[in-house]
Amino acid sequence: MTYKIMVVDDDPITRMDLREMLKDEGYQVVKECKNGEEAVQQCLALKPDLIIMDVKMPILNGIKAAKVIRKKLDTAILLLTAYSQRELIEDAKESGVTAYLVKPVTELDLIPAIEIAMSQKQQFECLSRDLQFLKKKLEERQLIEKAKGKIMESRVMTEEQSYQWMRKYSMKNRIALVTVAKFILQQPGAIGDVFLVRE
């Protein structure tokens, strides 16, 4: 898969080296930036899959830029640094970066780090989608439960009877059960007239 990558470093030689390594491996370099502020502006427009960014830069350093970017975009960020102090590692973790590499960076270091970063990003996106799906299903279930309660009150039915009544209506009219539930909750009078007419 071809990932869109942004390279951010105040050193033009480093940017050139990274660009060449990435292009040799078939990655698409969508933009090169010379500082964190420029990276923040450009990433909002280009929405890269991955940002490879130096830590020490003028105007806005890599860690601060990463914090801003991660609040706005779900983009993987790979930090480059000449240092490996524990404090830096903690700051990098808090800023939401996916990984970091210590300079000088070689192709043997860079390519596996990119693949791991992108794999983690995809796993996170998959989990996020699953979470959204489960949240939606839970909200639907809550609506159905509330609608069942309304039917139980209005039609003097047991919980099971009210559910089967809704289900039968849903299947007969070829509409989703949650749509039936929303209609019941939005128009309580429908339980006694519109619904009865269509049974």
Domain ranges in the chain are 4-105, 132-198
- CATH class of the domain at 132-198: mainly alpha
Q: What is the CATH topology of the domain spanning 4-105?
A: Rossmann fold (3.40.50)
Phi and psi for 93 in degrees, rounded to 5?
Answer: -65, -45
What amino acid is encoded at 21 in this protein? Answer: M
pTM over 0.75: no
pLDDT at site 194:
46
Question: What is the average pLDDT score of the chain?
Answer: 85
pLDDT in tens, 8-47: 999 999 999 999 999 999 999 999 999 999 999 999 899 9
Q: Is 76 helix (H, G, I), strand (E, B) or coil?
A: strand
* Helix or strand (DSSP H, E) at 28: strand 28-33
Give the residue with greater pLDDT, 117 vs 39: 39
pLDDT in tens, 159-170: 898 888 888 888
Confidence category of residue 178, pLDDT binned at 50, 70, 90: very high
Contact 148, 166 (CB under 8 A): yes
Give the residue with greater pLDDT, 28 vs 195: 28
Q: What is the Cα–Cα distance from 113 to 50, expressed in whole angstroms?
A: 11
Same fold, 4-105 and 132-198: no
pLDDT at site 14:
93
Q: What is the Cα–Cα distance from 28 to 2, expressed in whole angstroms?
A: 7
pLDDT at site 190:
59
Q: Rounded to the nearest 10 degrees, how much is the dihedral formed by the CA atoms of 71, 72, 76, 82?
A: -60
